[in-house]
Amino acid sequence: MTLPEDDFEVYDSEDSEAQISGVLDLFKPPQRVIDLGAGRGRVALPLIEHGVEVLAVDRDAEALDHSSWTEHAGLKRHQEDFLSPEASWFEQGPFDGVLCLGNTLNLVEDEARLEEIFQRAFSVLPVGGSFLIDDFPVWGPEMIRSEWPLGISPDGTQQVVWAPGGRAFAYRTGGEVDSKRRFPEPRERLLHIWTIDELQKMASRSGFRPAEHLEAALMIHFARSD
């Protein structure tokens, strides 16, 4: 299928297709999945076409109203900030899978808040059910520091600028790349660095099995334990 244009530009088309393929391999009709931070349907729409029931959640009403969405009996859209303590998405379970892709978890800065999301995901899944996040925590921090020593990718199309303390960064692409702007600016969204060890501890405390790195699909898979 044709992916919605500019769906937050998290991945290029090749990596996006690889991740979507990995998701489709995990879920079959008539399973039910919730897509947290669904945006314009980058992952949700292929799942719907695959016959999987999807609840698409996003805080951006404009994204959920985008023309890319098509009406389908197995699709529901729900506007809310799922990262908020007042979120209610987990009350609409059960689900066979909880998806949080697009590096959305990096928006969470507080460990207690992030662990709460793991706990909420656990609460809506059956034994063996899947909680999927991006695999950036496995490779991202070390790659950026070792291969982008000045914060700019070798081809000059991407840039990271670190906030004081080195645990959060702003990400720039295209015309936003500027070697003279070496620190995040107030208008820029900060992404927090979570290591795989930190996430594994949160997942374990929440009741998930050890993390499985689905490298070809650019995902980390947490399965609910007994």
User: Is the per-residue pLDDT at 115 higher than 90?
Assistant: yes
pLDDT, tens digit, for every residue of 3-55? 344 444 567 789 999 999 999 999 999 999 999 999 999 999 999 999 999 99
Q: What are the tens digits of pLDDT across the range 50-93?
A: 999 999 999 999 989 988 888 788 999 999 999 898 999 999 99
List domains and CATH numbers for the chain. 13-136+195-223 (3.40.50.150), 137-192 (no CATH)
In this prediction, residue 1 carries a pLDDT of 38
Q: What is the pLDDT of residue 142?
A: 83
Please give the pLDDT value at position 149.
Answer: 80
What secondary structure does DSSP assign to the chain, as a single string? -PPPTTSTT-S-HHHHHHHHHHHHHH--TT-EEEEET-TTTTTHHHHHHTT-EEEEEES-HHHHT-TT----TTEEEEES-TTSTT--GGGG---SEEEE-SSGGGG---HHHHHHHHHHHHHHPPTT-EEEEESHHHHHHHHHHHH-TTSB-TTSSEEEEEPTTSSEEEEEEGGG--TT--S--TTSPEEE---HHHHHHHHHHHTBPPPEEEGGGTEEEEEB--
Higher-pLDDT residue of 207, 7: 207
Q: Is the pTM of this model over 0.85?
A: yes
pLDDT at 37: 93
Residue 223 confidence class, pLDDT cut points 50, 70, 90: very high
Pairing verdict, β 32-36 and 53-58: parallel
